[in-house]
Structure 1
Amino acid sequence: MFDSVIFFALLAGLFTWGITALGAATVFFAKDVSRKLLDLMLGFAAGVMLAASFWSLLAPAIEMSSDLGRFAFFPAMLGFILGALFLRGIDYILPHLHFGKEIEDAEGIPTTWKRNTLLILAITLHNIPEGLAIGVAFGALDAGLPSATLSGAIALALGIGLQNFPEGAAVSLPLRMEGKSRFSAFMSGQLSAIVEPIAAVIGAYAVSMMHPLLPYALAFAAGAMVFVVVEQLIPESQSGDNADAATLSLIAGFSVMMMLDVALG
């Protein structure tokens, strides 16, 4: 079972990476992207990640800790906080730049890296918790717990893959608009998700080896994803003149992910 969950986690991570590449490939067919469409894509991605954080990660973490009685929330709460703090630490150290910002607004340690590199790193940063979430969900299968199901892990991978398509386009198209060649913009877009299969394997391996850490690991991935949503995706989707449309797109993304998780999980 151990080898199979690692293999399935790798396949799921490669799937989400592939969907990102498909989204990035839209740069070969479109010259640019409207700000409204970009805000809609960011809002949808935020909704999917928020729903996945609860339905696929936090709720199972709390259920797995039911033997703690009234303190069943504690592993989920601690893992959630640690996940957010972990991403905050990376966010503080890793040089990166959010779309729509000037090079002077780059975050992380000071660097002479170019603007395009910093933009790609910003997207790569929030792909790490997505890969971890997939890996932890598949690694949980090795524990044999009722709340950890193959269909639930697949639903999570499908949901993250679903939001990775517009995410890939949201990386490659703006880079094309900033002057990069179509091929270069495509490569940058798909490479931003290369961390997902790597993080998925790490997550699956870690929880497969240490079953008692499962609820903490699930909540850790949730905390990291929520941090990305609140710190990056929502502010960027709301920074233009399409705040209401982006909000409705977030609701749509949340609803789609909730449907997938409940229907398949």
Structure 2
Amino acid sequence: MNDETTREIQSDVMDPARAAAFQVAMGQEATIADGSVLPPFFHQLYFWWPRPPQGLGRDGHPKVGGGLIPDLGLPRRMWAGGRLRFADALRAGAPAEKRSELESAASKAGRTGPLGFVTLRHEIWQDGRLCLTEWQDLVYREDPSADAPRPQPPKARTDETERREVAFDSTFLFRYSALTFNGHRIHYDLDYARDVEGYAGLVVHGPLLAQHLMLLAEELMGPLSEFSFRASSPLMHFETATLCRKDGDLWVRGPDGRECMRAAALPRSE
């Protein structure tokens, strides 16, 4: 990794054991071995960025400022969405390089207070080939106020042609945090999630929901060329979600009918 503040480069070997462990954590058979094509979004398991304890913020993430993400003066972080363009297959057991850069950062006034918006652009290269381009959208917020009105989440569509139910618990969230080296405490520290950030429970990772939608899209539509997703409202660890799909549209519906995430998938043309 270099020392520039707007660009970072990381290398990894895409260990097949890590991908197989994730399959098992999701209740699937472990089929990934050396040379296997990695399912879409499994690159989230790699390119860890370990920091010493003094390099972490109160939320367990690396401190902002002085690195790729600037300090916008807002303590709460959320992965709001992203876009992916799949150019070639990533294979387990082969060296790969991740090239990341800060594409944009801005502060704006929102209805509930100031907001910070950061977009990162990542490229994953393997064997001299650009395999994947990803845009990652992050939102930063103030701590919640006890007297502030709660935002009303949008209602989810109910016109799906395929649906799957998926449940999450604290063990699954912990294992996903471990496999992705994600120290964000909202996913495993119930007291912190509830008392500091104001959530009703542990928060299901946004990229974990996106992962489920991508796997569903690939199962029903074949290999993907593009995928985009946007988080709408958080899902708690004690809630069962419904994964929905109609044509190229996908979404996650919470048990109360709210929309937790919406997405769009484009299959690869032969």
Normalised to the residue count of structure 1, the TM-score between the two structures is 0.28
More helix by share: 1
Greater RCO, 1 or 2 (C-alpha within 8 Å, sep 6+): 1
